[in-house]
Structure 1
Amino acid sequence: MAKESTFNPEYQASNTSSKVVAALERLSEAFRVLLWQEAKQHGISPIQVQILTFLLHYPEKVRTVTYLAAYFNMTKATVSDAIKTLESKNLLSRKEDKNDNRSHTLHLTREGRVLGKKVERFANPMLEPVKNMPPEKQADLLENLLGLIKDLNDQLIITPQRMCFNCRFYEKKGKGHYCNLVQSPLRSADLRVECPEFDPGK
């Protein structure tokens, strides 16, 4: 009898759950490879690529070391080191909080924005195969992945994400989804991984 292990090919052969987990592991490896390739090309680290990409698109109120550390599931020290390096390269600057001189927000310089727009394309090779799926399969995949992320959030393996399933406005209605903020049913394709109106309600 094959040893019960997700990474044992013999056991995987008759265990669909293990095959799914193994497939997700391969996808995470692809993500890491793409991130490393992009970072190496520009002489920065993978987390610095992710920080530049984040700062391109997120509002000032969340552009802090504390938020970034939670968002990327890293320590403040690791994020701070990455930010100091980006500062030394003149890719970002800090803006002091008028009400608290111990707090500051992070802002891309002109050079930082230019580089950020280049490096954010690192995930495009993964995007293309997904875009080629039929829309209904994309929606089903999104719903299932969000459910998996929610389980990992509940187990405190990764920090809770600002997505529909974690929001106080979200409600499961039968097999469907409902947003109490906009007072409307949601299709699977309408579900968000990151929502600006997210409210944990706690």
Structure 2
Amino acid sequence: MRKESTFNPEHQATNTASKVVAALERLSEAFRVLLWQEAKQYGISPIQVQILTYLLHYPEKLKTVTHLAAHFNMTKATISDAIKTIESKGFVRRKDDKEDSRSHTLHLTREGKTVARRVERFAEPMQESVQDMPAEKQAGMLEQLLGLIQDLNKNLIITPQRMCYNCRFYEKKGKLHYCHLVNAILKAAELRVECPEFRKPAI
């Protein structure tokens, strides 16, 4: 028996899961449009906008092609090609690793930082819409989205993210969230999508 399509409006009418997936797909389209609007102003691509934004905020140890590839679920070759373009525009420079001549980290130039601060505004319309929701609904949505991301991680759809649910310090106690690093229960709103203290679970 052929499985009904998620994108069939008649099927969606009686299937809540399909409506949720369709809504998420619409949101992904919104991000794509917003990214392109910013990217075309500087003659770069959406992924290059995201790379500039990443390099503006993440610590030096994570500013490598390997970490960028994992973060954006792309191959190292694709990320390297994207970096070459923004490097040729003078937005990014490479810094050699003193301990390993084969490795390097990526850093924004002064011009790169200026551009990054401008293009990262692409997400502001989304931010404003979410901020209009009551705080408890924002927290509930965060919980649900982190759970969805975790399922996608487990099914190897996207690479494991550096979030609470994937961290060795995290434990779910009934309906409560507990962090063993700070030895405290976390409110839903305190859960992190990206945590600087993230550690992979012990194998």
Give the superposition deviation at 1:201: 2.2
Q: Which residue is equivalent to 2:17? A: 17
Mapped partners of 1:111, 1:41: distance in 2: 15
Q: Which residue is equivalent to 1:184? A: 184
Aligned pairs for 1:16-165 within 5 A: 16-165=16-165
Mapped partners of 2:50, 2:17: distance in 1: 30
SS of equivalent residue, structure 1 residue 105: strand
Q: Which residue is equivalent to 2:200? A: 200
| Number of residue pairs matched by the alignment | 201
Could you give the per-residue CA deviations for residues 71-96 of structure 1, whole angstroms, max 9, x where no partner exists?
10111111111111111111110000
Amino acid at match of 1:114: T
Mapped partners of 1:47, 1:192: distance in 2: 23
Give the superposition deviation at 1:200: 0.9
Mapped partners of 1:118, 1:86: distance in 2: 15
Mapped partners of 1:122, 1:99: distance in 2: 37
Give the superposition deviation at 1:43: 1.1
Show structure 1 runs of 5+ residues with no match: none
Quick check: 2:49–2:120 contact (8 Å CA) kept in 1? yes
Give the superposition deviation at 1:121: 0.5
Mapped partners of 2:82, 2:146: distance in 1: 29
Could you give the per-residue CA deviations for residues 141-168 of structure 1, whole angstroms, max 9, x where no partner exists?
0000000000000000000000000001
Mapped partners of 1:32, 1:87: distance in 2: 23
SS of equivalent residue, structure 2 residue 83: helix
SS of equivalent residue, structure 1 residue 102: coil
TM-score, reference length from structure 2: 0.97
Quick check: 2:6–2:21 contact (8 Å CA) kept in 1? yes
Show structure 2 runs of 5+ residues with no match: none
Could you give the per-residue CA deviations for residues 9-64 of structure 1, whole angstroms, max 9, x where no partner exists?
00100110000000000000100111111101111111110010000000000100
Q: Which residue is equivalent to 2:6? A: 6
SS of equivalent residue, structure 1 residue 101: coil
Quick check: 2:166–2:201 contact (8 Å CA) kept in 1? no
SS of equivalent residue, structure 2 residue 178: strand
Q: Alpha carbon RMSD of aligned pairs, Å?
A: 1.1
Give the superposition deviation at 1:137: 0.2
